[in-house]
Amino acid sequence: MSNNTMMSKVENDRVLVLERVFNAPRDKVFKMFKEPDYLKQWWGPRGWELPVCNMDFKSGGIWHFCMKCVDQNQGEFYGMESWGKAVYKEIVEPEKIAYVDYFSDADGNTNDIMPATSVTAEFEEMDGKTKLVNRCEYATAEGLKTVLDMGAIQGITETWDRLEELLRNKR
């Protein structure tokens, strides 16, 4: 697996597994997920910013955020906001972050029509590099299909590309 390649596979019709190796030590990659100032620089696909990023990074804590499209070239998406809310279940620094990710509104009310995602991100040290394994589990196969149809793979690929670029520039 090269640095810029993300591997993805579906297990049991309900679990999306994403893997990528980042050319940075595990502590540094983990820090990018834990600190709002860093998240604001890379979270979301290209052309999207994170104008709201309120985070209580601890087990039981909440991360409430807004992604906003700022790229006029994205047509009908320009100006669109996508709100999310994550509830942290377990944090083992710098090895693992487990949380449930919900679509929400600006007030943090979850959208129960859209599928919630149980996410476990594991950070594996690999001789100065970090292998990130992200398991996204959905309650139903339809929930997974919904997010895949929304372009989740492309969005995560672009998001992780932005993370790689930030890690490279923070050396």
By C-alpha distance, which of 110, 108, 88, 84 is closest to 100? 88
CA atoms 161, 97, 138, 104: torsion sign? negative
The confidence score (pLDDT) of residue 44 equals 95
Q: Which CATH class is domain 7-169?
A: alpha beta
Average pLDDT of the residues of the chain? 95
Using the predicted structure, report yes or no on whether residue 12 has a pLDDT greater than 50: yes
Tell me the pLDDT tens digit for each residue of 40-99.
999 999 999 999 999 999 999 999 999 999 999 999 999 999 999 999 999 999 999 999
Ranges of each domain in the chain: 7-169
Instruction: Let me know: does 170 contact 32? Beta carbons within 8 Å.
Output: no
Residue owning tokens 């997010």: 147
- Please give the Cα distance from 54 to 66 (Å, whole number): 9
Instruction: Let me know: does 29 contact 123? Beta carbons within 8 Å.
Output: yes
Other Cβ atoms within 10 Å of 47 Cβ, number: 15
Helices (H), 16-151: 26-34, 36-42, 141-149
Residue owning tokens 């998406």: 77
